[in-house]
Amino acid sequence: DGAHTQEHFLAYNESCEIVDLFELWKPHVDRFPGLRENLCKVCKKGPTLRESESADTSSNRPRNDAFSYLVSGTLLNARINVVAVEGLRRTDFIGMSEADLSFEARASYFFDVECKRPQTENSMVSCMRETRARLQQAGREGRQGIVAIDCSTMVRAPGQYWSTNLEKWLRHVWRVS
């Protein structure tokens, strides 16, 4: 009958991430040695759909890395000077980065970005506290820190392509922050 099911929408949405990774990184991938291989791993390993993730079995690593690659690729395409992502340095960058990604805002002034994907509302506050502590550690060479958060697991319930709880969730997030 040609009708699309909810599963069609979910599969389409999830597959767009893979296409976005390719499109965002295509002009930049060769400047980050090892990144092409890492992008292939991210697309091949781990669960394809978010619904298949399990925080208990740590099956989220590829999807967590994919989020870092999506954020850094988006920044690169906005002409932000990304110098490292997931431990891979750009070929002309001689510094170090322990963050999920780092970018140079102006000459020798860097920002570290930690990319987080908390799986539940209850884990968000503790995740942010841990991330804040990490960004405030000594030895970060005076870099400022930013946290990029993927809240999709809280906004869109598993198996749903739209959540009726969005307004309630947003109120909760603003209340605890």
Instruction: Taking residues 143-149, report their average pLDDT.
Output: 89
Confidence (pTM): 0.78
List, in sequence order, every residue forming a beta bridge with 88; answer none if it has no partner. Answer: 85
Cβ count near 50 (within 10 Å): 20
- Tell me the C-alpha distance between 152 and 2, whole Å: 28
User: What pLDDT does residue 119 have?
Assistant: 77
Indicate if the pLDDT at residue 85 is higher than 90: yes
Stretch 31-42: mean pLDDT, rounded? Answer: 92
pLDDT tens per residue, range 91-141: 999 888 889 999 998 888 889 999 998 877 788 888 888 888 888 887 777
Which sign, positive or negative, has the C-alpha torsion 89, 90, 94, 96? negative
CA distance 68 to 127: 16
Query: How high does pLDDT run on average in the chain?
Result: 80
The answer on pLDDT for 174 being more than 80 is no
Pairing type for strands 109-116 and 144-149 reads parallel
4-17 tens-digit pLDDT: 666 666 666 667 77
- For residues 87 and 98, what is the distance between their CA atoms, to the nearest angstrom? 7
Q: Where are the beta strands (DSSP E) in the chain?
A: 81-85, 88-89, 101-106, 109-116, 144-149
Pairing type for strands 81-85 and 144-149 reads unpaired
Which residue has tokens 């307004």? 167
Q: How many CB atoms lie under 10 A from the CB of residue 72?
A: 29
